[in-house]
Structure 1
Amino acid sequence: MKKQFFVLFICLFLIIMSACGNKTGNQANKGNGSSDKTLVLAAYGGSYEKKIKEAVIPKFEKKYGVKVKYITGSSVDTLSKLQAQKAHPQIDVAFLDDGPQAQAKAFGLLAPLDEKVVTNLENLYDIAKDEDNIGVGFGIISTGLAYNKETFQKNGWEPLKSWNDLADPKFKGNLVLPSIANTYGVHLLIMAAKANGGSEENIVPGFEALKKIAKNAVTFDKTADVSNYFLQGQTVASAWGSSRVYTLQDTGFPIEYVIPEEGAIALMSTISVVKNAPNNDLAQKFVNFVLSEEVQKDFAEALFDGPVNKNVKLEGDITKKVPYGQAEIDKLIKVNWKLVNEKRAEWTERANKEIEISH
């Protein structure tokens, strides 16, 4: 009997000591800042995904002892996910172009930023800030014209100068244009209007101009990435973002970027905390991390995103390829996204019926 009691006592003692050891281990883990939390990002694909996964996520995971999950998708894809998950959000941080971001804000899908956590807000250019602190711009590029320099030289064509140049009959069967389904397509419509006496408020001249341009189009691209069309020789010119053009140029492809005489549109890439996000505190910290001088400079040099943090210092050729500094930012045309989003469904329906339907 005494022997059985002794064995039972030893077992209980070992169980208690094991529990204490686990508790000590857990406390040690917490002391090192580790966590079982997973921050979920919904963000762009392509070069953005590569850079964020290689240079941003590992540093953030190490700093805060968490894991980060990356969900790839266009701005339209991400907006659709946020709408579908509104009652039970599964995404913490959303990367969106400024147009879809304005829609997400209007739909009540995004949360305000906490200025006590997102301390880098005070270091930003005004163009990056939202008046209600719901989301923030993290990189600025311009939407202008891109063309294959080698093809133009072989044919003796002059470089593109105007948005209306896309309507030149010599380009028939040699253009791939952005669909109105993506931001570049909306920008093309707006600038086609502005180049012909119109505006967001008077978009009719834009549709009339696009009808002429569309005669040269092989197709209208919905992905916002026309690089393959350039590489395969299916397009010699298009309306596209400066960062995309310079990224392709960096591979050795003979593509050139032009700011037309009528101007180029500012395209802001934004980052927002999702309303009722599972990990709001971590999401706020991630936004602040992306706005830091280190990450901002990294994005500029690797992705050709103009920095929104005023403290970032750039040197050399990169300063000519990104909107850098207040003076350059002020030259860009700002879109009235509130008005555009009110009209976007109407414009999309009209574009599909009158312009893109035959492509």
Structure 2
Amino acid sequence: MKWIKSRAVLAGLIVTAVATFGSVAAAQQRELILSGFGGAYDEAMAESVKSFEKENNVKVTIIPGSGANNIARVRNKEIDVIVSDPVFALRMEAEGSFAPLDAKLIPNLKALHPKAIYSDAVIAANFGAYVIAYNPAEVKPPESWYDLAKPEYKGRIALRGFRPENIELITLFAKLAGGSERNPDAGFAELAKIARNIDVWINAHADHLELYRNDQIAMSMWTDGRIAWARDVEGVKIQGAIPKEGFFPLSSTLSVVAGRPNGELSQKLVNHLLSPESGVRMAEKLGYFPTNRNTVLPPELQAKLMLNPKNIDDLQSADWKYIVTVYDQWQSRWDREVQR
């Protein structure tokens, strides 16, 4: 009898151990991989997701990514949710890499500003505002994007090359001349004029800052958050002006990678990153404007941002679903006609 009881106890211990091991394994599997931009952006997201981790018993691991690394990670299904931009995100969506966003799991989708919705798999969590930055000691506040091509500013302008903001500028100039994304000739022609005034093509924000610090340039295109940082933190003589034709979004998109094991939880993470609470945090840390219309920023914080609920409709945005289909052609044309 003792032997039988011992066997029963031993069997119970084994069952308990197996169950415990299974629970531990299951807990280890509840991890989401979130690909961000690195630096301050990822640090802000790390603070934001703490409450999500606690509420959902999940570990959110944030890894920085860019360019080819992101493409490989998405194609290999190594990440769950990716923070990106419309160019990359819509190109990956066209490959079938992303899952449609589920409004039942992401109720914050209903509160998004229409300009933040690029497709049923790509949406923007927040916007920066690309405006004209200028040195007020040298020039009057610019009123138009066309001011960048004025002869008096030759050698005093900087831009960042073939990037989304300059694609937006090409599209805007084309539309103002009666063209469009499908007929961008006038846009490329105007950028070629601006290129004659370029002193340097900028590669990084730190370089941008030093150009103003060293009085090497008088105007450029930069985001409102970076302008505020350069002025208020770094003490550089710089201001921002919204041109009369409108301004462009620096868009931080969110997408869920298809085929990963925790798809429902990934959708819930997107909902969390779209929440008003997350929006306020990103505005505080980075100076980005939240796309959730239910977000109310404290007055002192809103006063620091150039983008606000009253002017968000002035954001100009190209048809990015079309742009990504001609992106490589446009880049070749840029290299031939603009940044030669």
TMscore range, shorter length: 0.7 to 0.9
Deviation at 1:68, TM superposition (A): 2.1
Counterpart CA distance in 2 for 1:278 and 1:353 is 45
Q: Does residue 351 of structure 1 match 2:334? A: yes
Partner SS for 1:102: helix
Bigger drift between 110-119 and 201-210 goes to: 201-210
Deviation at 1:284, TM superposition (A): 0.8
Match of 1:318 in 2: 301
Counterpart CA distance in 2 for 1:198 and 1:144 is 22
Match of 1:177 in 2: 159
The answer to whether the 8 A contact 2:85-2:253 is kept is yes
Give me the identity figure in percent.
29
Partner SS for 1:257: strand
Amino acid at match of 1:204: D
Counterpart CA distance in 2 for 1:232 and 1:294 is 35
Match of 1:253 in 2: 235
Match of 2:61 in 1: 69
The answer to whether the 8 A contact 1:144-1:260 is kept is yes
The answer to whether the 8 A contact 2:209-2:230 is kept is no
Counterpart CA distance in 2 for 1:28 and 1:349 is 54
Please tell me whether Structure 1 or Structure 2 has the larger radius of gyration of its CA atoms.
1
Partner SS for 2:83: strand
Partner SS for 2:62: strand
Aligned with 1:48 (options 41, 48, 53)? 41
Q: Does residue 146 of structure 1 match 2:95? A: no
Distance 1:261 1:217, change over 3 A: same
Partner SS for 1:334: coil
Bigger drift between 97-106 and 192-201 goes to: 192-201
Match of 1:288 in 2: 271
Distance 1:229 1:350, change over 3 A: farther
Match of 2:99 in 1: 111
Match of 1:81 in 2: 72
Aligned pair count?
A: 336
Counterpart CA distance in 2 for 1:27 and 1:73 is 32
Distance 1:90 1:312, change over 3 A: same
Structure 2 stretches lacking a partner, 5+ long: none
Partner SS for 2:307: coil
Match of 2:88 in 1: 100
| TM-score normalised by L of structure 1 | 0.80
Counterpart CA distance in 1 for 2:229 and 2:45 is 15
> Pairwise mapping of residues 257-336 of structure 1 onto structure 2 (< 5 A)?
257-320=240-303, 321-325=305-309, 327-336=310-319
Per-residue Cα deviation, 1:216-274 (whole angstroms, up to 9, x for no partner):
32432355775444465354432122233334444243332211122212343211101
Partner SS for 1:356: coil
The answer to whether the 8 A contact 1:92-1:283 is kept is yes
The answer to whether the 8 A contact 1:196-1:209 is kept is no
Q: Does residue 219 of structure 1 match 2:200? A: yes
Counterpart CA distance in 1 for 2:229 and 2:175 is 28
The answer to whether the 8 A contact 1:78-1:96 is kept is no
Q: Does residue 136 of structure 1 match 2:118? A: no
The answer to whether the 8 A contact 2:132-2:242 is kept is yes
Amino acid at match of 2:43: K
Distance 1:197 1:223, change over 3 A: farther
Counterpart CA distance in 1 for 2:77 and 2:23 is 32
Counterpart CA distance in 1 for 2:19 and 2:93 is 45
Counterpart CA distance in 1 for 2:232 and 2:28 is 39
The answer to whether the 8 A contact 1:300-1:322 is kept is no
Distance 1:350 1:218, change over 3 A: same
Per-residue Cα deviation, 1:118-169 (whole angstroms, up to 9, x for no partner):
12222222332355x21322112322211234xxx1x4x2222221222234
The answer to whether the 8 A contact 1:36-1:67 is kept is no
Amino acid at match of 2:36: A
Counterpart CA distance in 2 for 1:173 and 1:323 is 29
Counterpart CA distance in 2 for 1:15 and 1:237 is 78
| TM-score normalised by L of structure 2 | 0.84
Counterpart CA distance in 2 for 1:107 and 1:244 is 33
Structure 1 stretches lacking a partner, 5+ long: none
Distance 1:316 1:237, change over 3 A: same
Q: Does residue 188 of structure 1 match 2:179? A: no
Deviation at 1:209, TM superposition (A): 2.0
Deviation at 1:287, TM superposition (A): 0.2
Q: Does residue 203 of structure 1 match 2:190? A: no
